[in-house]
Amino acid sequence: MTDRIELVLASASPARLATLEAAGVRPTVRVSLVDEDAVVSRYGVTDPADVALLLARAKAEDVARLLEQDRDAATGDGGAGADSLVVGCDSVLELDGESHGKPGDAAAACERWRRMRGRSGTLHTGHWVVDSREEGTGGTLGAVASTTVHFADLTDEEIDAYVATGEPLRVAGAFTVDGLGGPFVTGIEGDHHNVVGISLPLLRELLAEVGVPWHRLWT
């Protein structure tokens, strides 16, 4: 397809990349230089959904800035990202009105799971799109997808064993639904892909707002 548009994923998440690839999209990965704690502190945002959207925007706009620098430094071939759309994402788990990203260490992950077990939380994923195409709209817009997640009533032994795998330390909310944590999620209400890290239906809607139909991303 000669008129395919390049999507740049402003995230190092292998789960987000795999989700996009399974949907026929092969993005370029460009990780942002954003200091998440500094961004949240600067704007004083506390609402979990707002935190997710703020960080998604910061990451997307940072990568769009890096791509612009690449274009300025290019010698005539346009450089990587010369005609691309940037999407940034960030996920946080809301539990008891508090935001939970990646746990800092194993002790924090165990403590979190002892709070989560047998309960439900809301996984918010902020999505932000920057149309950095040379002849694009120049649009920058975003939205949040929220999915309710029901957790199994794990034993202390199960929590300790799961945390010992290291997986909970690498993901927002200290769990996965598509990995080792799958057996510990008893159900979800909402978009499954959103829990993995990127809502494909929401991303499709955001891209449509800048005039890009989803199929133009297919490889």
Query: DSSP readout, 50-104?
Result: HHHHHHHHHHHHHHHHHHHHHHHH-SSS--TTTTEEEEEEEEEEEETTEEE-S-S
Residue spans per domain, the chain: 6-214
Give CA–CA dist 103/94, Å, rounded: 13
Question: Which residue's structure tokens are 């010698």?
Answer: 75
pLDDT of amino acid 78: 45
At 71 the pLDDT is 77
pTM for this predicted structure: 0.92
Q: What is the pLDDT of residue 134?
A: 78
User: What's the average pLDDT block by block, 10 residues per block, for the chain (219 residues)?
Assistant: 78 96 96 92 93 97 90 59 84 95 95 98 98 86 98 98 97 95 98 97 97 91
Are the C-beta atoms of residues 125 and 144 closer than 8 Å to each other?
A: yes
The fold for domain 6-214 equals Maf protein (3.90.950)
Residue positions counted in the chain: 219
Note the pLDDT of residue 79: 45
Catalytic residues: 90
pLDDT at residue 5 in the model: 83
